[in-house]
A and B are shown apart, each in its own frame.
Chain A
Amino acid sequence: AENEPSWETPCTKLLVYVSTPGCDGFPSLDSSESYKLSVSKGSMLLSAETIWGALRGLETFSQLVGRDENGTYYINETEIVDFPRFPHRGLLLDTSRHYLPLKAILETLDVMAYNKFNVFHWHIVDDPSFPYESSTFPELSRQGAFNAMTHVYTASDVRSVIEYARLRGIRVIAEFDTPGHTLSWGPGAPGLLTPCYMGKAPSGVYGPINPIVNSTYQFVTSFFQEVSTVFPDFFLHLGGDEVDFTCWQSNPEIRAFMAETGLGEDYKKLESFYIQRLLDIVSSLGKGYIVWQEVFDNDVKLRPDTIIHVWKENNLQYLNEMANVTRAGYRALLSAPWYLNRISYGQDWIEAYKVEPLNFEGVPEQKALVIGGEACMWGEYVDVTNLTPRLW
Chain B
Amino acid sequence: SCPTMGRAMGLAGLLLGLVVVPAVLVSTNLRRGTPRTEAEPEPSGWELAADAVPEDSLWPLPQWVRTYPRQLQLAPSRFQLVHGAGSSAGPSCGLLQDAFRRYYEYIFGHSRWRTWVRRPLAARAEPELFQLQVVIEAGDPGCDRHPHLTSSEAYHLTVTEPVAILKASEVWGALRGLETFSQLVYEDDYGSFLVNESEINDFPRFAHRGVLLDTSRHYLPLKSILTNLDAMAFNKFNVLHWHIVDDQSFPYQSIYFPELSDKGAYSSNLIYTPTDVRLVIEYARLRGIRVIPEFDTPGHTQSWGKGQKDLLTPCYNGKQPTGSFGPVNPVWNTTYDFMTKFFKEISSVFPDEFIHLGGDEVDFSCWKSNPEVKEFMKKQGFGIDYAKLESYYVQNILDIVSSYNKGQMVWQEVFDHKAQLKPNTVVQVWMANNYARELSRVTGAGFTALLSAPWYLDYISYGQDWKKYYSVEPLNFPGSEEQKKLVIGGEACLWGEFVDATNLTPRLWPRASAVGERLWSSSNVTNLQDAYKRLTNHRCRML
A343-B462 in contact (CB<8A): yes
Residues on the B chain within 8 Å of A150, using CB: 15, 17-19
Q: Does A342 contact B (CB under 8 A)?
A: yes
B23-A384 in contact (CB<8A): no
Residues on the A chain within 8 Å of B527, using CB: none
A241-B34 in contact (CB<8A): no
Binary per-residue interface labels of chain A (363-392) against chain B in the complex, 1 for a CB within 8 Å, 0 otherwise: 000000000000010101101111011100
Q: A98 and B1 in contact (CB under 8 A), knowing A380-B26, A381-B24?
A: yes
Stretch at the interface among B187-195, B344-352, B453-461: B453-461
B18-A346 in contact (CB<8A): no
B543-A385 in contact (CB<8A): yes
In the bound complex, how far is the Cα of B18 from the Cα of A343, in angstroms?
A: 29
In the bound complex, how far is the Cα of B35 from the Cα of A241, in angstroms?
A: 13
Residues on the A chain within 8 Å of B29, using CB: 126-128, 181, 183
A384-B13 in contact (CB<8A): yes
Binary per-residue interface labels of chain A (228-269) against chain B in the complex, 1 for a CB within 8 Å, 0 otherwise: 000000000000011000000000000000000000000000
**Least CB distance, B532 to chain A, in whole angstroms:** 14
Residues on the B chain within 8 Å of A104, using CB: 13
Q: Does A146 contact B (CB under 8 A)?
A: yes
**Least CB distance, A237 to chain B, in whole angstroms:** 14
Tally chain A residues at the interface, Cβ within 8 Å: 44
Residues on the B chain within 8 Å of A241, using CB: 31
Residues on the A chain within 8 Å of B33, using CB: 311-314, 336, 339, 342
Residues on the A chain within 8 Å of B462, using CB: 341-344, 381
Which residue of the partner chain, among A97, A312, A314, A346, contacts B23 with CB atoms under 8 Å?
A: A97
In the bound complex, how far is the Cα of B498 from the Cα of A347, in angstroms?
A: 8
Residues on the B chain within 8 Å of A314, using CB: 33-34
A146-B498 in contact (CB<8A): no
A385-B28 in contact (CB<8A): no
B23-A147 in contact (CB<8A): no
Binary per-residue interface labels of chain A (319-353) against chain B in the complex, 1 for a CB within 8 Å, 0 otherwise: 00000000000000000100101111111000000
Q: Does A188 contact B (CB under 8 A)?
A: no
Residues on the A chain within 8 Å of B1, using CB: 98-99, 146-147, 151, 383
A376-B13 in contact (CB<8A): no
A146-B19 in contact (CB<8A): yes
Q: Does A149 contact B (CB under 8 A)?
A: yes
B19-A343 in contact (CB<8A): no
Q: Does A129 contact B (CB under 8 A)?
A: yes
Q: Does A362 contact B (CB under 8 A)?
A: no
In the bound complex, how far is the Cα of B449 from the Cα of A384, in angstroms?
A: 39
Residues on the B chain within 8 Å of A126, using CB: 29
Binary per-residue interface labels of chain B (23-66) against chain A in the complex, 1 for a CB within 8 Å, 0 otherwise: 11111111111100000000011000000000000000000000
In the complex, what residue of chain A is closest to B505 when comparing beta carbons? A385
Q: Does A13 contact B (CB under 8 A)?
A: no
Which residue of the partner chain, among B11, B15, B31, contacts A242 with CB atoms under 8 Å?
A: B31
Q: Does A101 contact B (CB under 8 A)?
A: yes
**Least CB distance, A91 to chain B, in whole angstroms:** 15
- Chain A CB within 10 Å — which of B14, B23, B507 has the most? B23
B31-A149 in contact (CB<8A): no
Residues on the B chain within 8 Å of A312, using CB: 32-33
Which residue of the partner chain, among A183, A339, A345, contacts B458 with CB atoms under 8 Å?
A: A345
**Least CB distance, A222 to chain B, in whole angstroms:** 25
In the bound complex, how far is the Cα of B503 from the Cα of A343, in angstroms?
A: 13
Q: Does A85 contact B (CB under 8 A)?
A: no
Q: A181 and B460 in contact (CB under 8 A), knowing A380-B26, A385-B506, A386-B506?
A: no
Q: A383 and B458 in contact (CB under 8 A), knowing A127-B44, A147-B18, A378-B32?
A: no
**Least CB distance, A239 to chain B, in whole angstroms:** 10
In the complex, what residue of chain B is closest to A345 when comparing beta carbons? B459
- Chain A CB within 10 Å — which of B13, B15, B30, B498 has the most? B15
A344-B19 in contact (CB<8A): no
**Least CB distance, B32 to chain A, in whole angstroms:** 6
**Least CB distance, A93 to chain B, in whole angstroms:** 14
Q: Does A103 contact B (CB under 8 A)?
A: yes
Residues on the B chain within 8 Å of A389, using CB: 502-503, 506-507
**Least CB distance, A17 to chain B, in whole angstroms:** 38
Binary per-residue interface labels of chain A (114-140) against chain B in the complex, 1 for a CB within 8 Å, 0 otherwise: 000000000000111100000000000
Q: Does B381 contact A (CB under 8 A)?
A: no
In the complex, what residue of chain A is closest to B11 when comparing beta carbons? A385
In the complex, what residue of chain B is closest to A392 when comparing beta carbons? B502
Q: Does B139 contact A (CB under 8 A)?
A: no
A149-B11 in contact (CB<8A): no
**Least CB distance, A274 to chain B, in whole angstroms:** 19
A384-B14 in contact (CB<8A): yes
**Least CB distance, B100 to chain A, in whole angstroms:** 29
A147-B19 in contact (CB<8A): yes
In the bound complex, how far is the Cα of B25 from the Cα of A98, in angstroms?
A: 10
Which residue of the partner chain, among B11, B45, B507, contacts A129 with CB atoms under 8 Å?
A: B45
Q: Does B91 contact A (CB under 8 A)?
A: no
**Least CB distance, B266 to chain A, in whole angstroms:** 16
**Least CB distance, A184 to chain B, in whole angstroms:** 8
Residues on the A chain within 8 Å of B26, using CB: 97, 128, 380
Residues on the B chain within 8 Å of A97, using CB: 23, 26, 28
In the bound complex, how far is the Cα of B459 from the Cα of A343, in angstroms?
A: 10
Binary per-residue interface labels of chain A (49-90) against chain B in the complex, 1 for a CB within 8 Å, 0 otherwise: 000000000000000000000000000000000000000000
Q: Does B120 contact A (CB under 8 A)?
A: no
A378-B31 in contact (CB<8A): yes
A147-B461 in contact (CB<8A): no
Residues on the A chain within 8 Å of B461, using CB: 343-345
A381-B27 in contact (CB<8A): yes
Which residue of the partner chain, among B11, B45, B463, B506, contacts A146 with CB atoms under 8 Å?
A: B45
In the complex, what residue of chain A is closest to B9 when comparing beta carbons? A385
In the bound complex, how far is the Cα of B499 from the Cα of A386, in angstroms?
A: 13
Residues on the A chain within 8 Å of B32, using CB: 311-312, 339, 376, 378
Which residue of the partner chain, among B460, B464, B502, B505, contacts A344 with CB atoms under 8 Å?
A: B460
Residues on the A chain within 8 Å of B23, using CB: 97-98, 128-129, 146
A183-B31 in contact (CB<8A): no
Which residue of the partner chain, among A128, A336, A345, contacts B28 with CB atoms under 8 Å?
A: A128
In the bound complex, how far is the Cα of B30 from the Cα of A127, in angstroms?
A: 10
B30-A380 in contact (CB<8A): yes
Residues on the A chain within 8 Å of B14, using CB: 384-385
Residues on the B chain within 8 Å of A101, using CB: 13, 15
In the bound complex, how far is the Cα of B44 from the Cα of A181, in angstroms?
A: 12
Residues on the A chain within 8 Å of B498, using CB: 345-347
In the bound complex, how far is the Cα of B458 from the Cα of A181, in angstroms?
A: 33
Q: Which residues, 433 to 480 on B, are CB-close (under 8 Å) to A?
A: 458-464
Binary per-residue interface labels of chain A (100-112) against chain B in the complex, 1 for a CB within 8 Å, 0 otherwise: 0101100100000
In the bound complex, how far is the Cα of B23 from the Cα of A385, in angstroms?
A: 13
B27-A380 in contact (CB<8A): yes
A384-B15 in contact (CB<8A): yes
In the complex, what residue of chain B is closest to A382 when comparing beta carbons? B24
Residues on the A chain within 8 Å of B507, using CB: 386, 389
In the complex, what residue of chain A is closest to B543 when comparing beta carbons? A385
9 shortest interchain CB distances as A-B pairs: A389-B503, A386-B506, A147-B19, A128-B45, A146-B1, A342-B462, A345-B459, A380-B27, A101-B15
Q: List 5 A-B contacts (CB under 8 A).
A: A97-B23, A311-B32, A345-B498, A378-B32, A381-B462
**Extra pairs beyond A146-B19, A341-B462, A385-B14 (9, CB < 8 Å):** A127-B28, A128-B29, A129-B23, A129-B45, A150-B19, A345-B459, A380-B26, A385-B11, A389-B506
A residues bordering B, Cβ < 8 Å? 97-99, 101, 103-104, 107, 126-129, 146-147, 149-151, 181, 183, 241-242, 311-314, 336, 339, 341-347, 376, 378, 380-381, 383-386, 388-390
